[in-house]
């Protein structure tokens, strides 16, 4: 499964809200599948991924917020000591995101300007 690195953060606090009903149904299904099979290999990618498949911001394979999400993706890769194209079990990737970003208090620094920030911000105290 191809996964944009910053979606490993979105998955942590997802509560069913998103860009359209089709998008949220699909994203919820992806998260359910990964939680049922945490050993699923994910290949990290700096382009559109499994979540983007049903996103209205995905126009012919290009995210309309490409500059912003690329910044998030690169920051997640750096914080997790990973690189574009790396493949690892979802559980391992998720654990790195939790430990090296969320528990380290880096979330807001990486994606604090995201339109969904308030959802994630209520889940833990951050500097």
Residue 65 near ligand SF4 by CB under 6 A = yes
Site for ligand SF4 contains 51 (CB under 6 A): yes
User: Is there binding between residue 42 and ligand SF4 (CB under 6 A)?
Assistant: no
Q: How far apart are CA 62 and CA 19, in angstroms?
A: 16
Residue of 52, 38, 37 whose CA lies nearest to 7? 52
Q: Is 52 in the site for ligand SF4 (CB under 6 A)?
A: yes
Query: Strand, helix or coil at 77?
Result: helix
| H helix runs in 59-123, sequence order | 66-80, 90-97, 107-111, 117-121
User: Is residue 47 part of the contact set for ligand SF4 (CB under 6 A)?
Assistant: no
Residue 4 touching ligand SF4 (CB under 6 A):
yes
β pairing state of 87-89 and 62-63: unpaired
Query: Whole-number minimum distance, CB 9 to ligand SF4, in Å?
Result: 11
The contact set with ligand SF4 (CB under 6 A) reads 4, 48, 51-52, 55, 57-58, 63, 65, 69
């Amino acid at each position: 499964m191809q996964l944009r690195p910053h979606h490993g953060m979105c998955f942590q606090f997802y509560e069913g809200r998103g860009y359209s009903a089709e998008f949220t149904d699909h994203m919820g299904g992806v998260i359910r599948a990964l939680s049922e099979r945490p050993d699923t290999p994910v290949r990290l990618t700096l382009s559109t991924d499994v979540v983007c498949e049903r996103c209205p911001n995905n126009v012919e394979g290009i995210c309309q917020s490409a500059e912003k999400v690329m910044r998030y993706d690169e920051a997640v890769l750096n914080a997790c000591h990973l690189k574009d194209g790396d493949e690892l079990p979802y559980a391992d990737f998720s654990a790195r995101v939790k430990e090296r970003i969320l528990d380290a208090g880096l979330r807001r620094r990486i994606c604090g300007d995201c339109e969904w920030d308030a959802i994630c911000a209520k889940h833990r105290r951050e500097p």
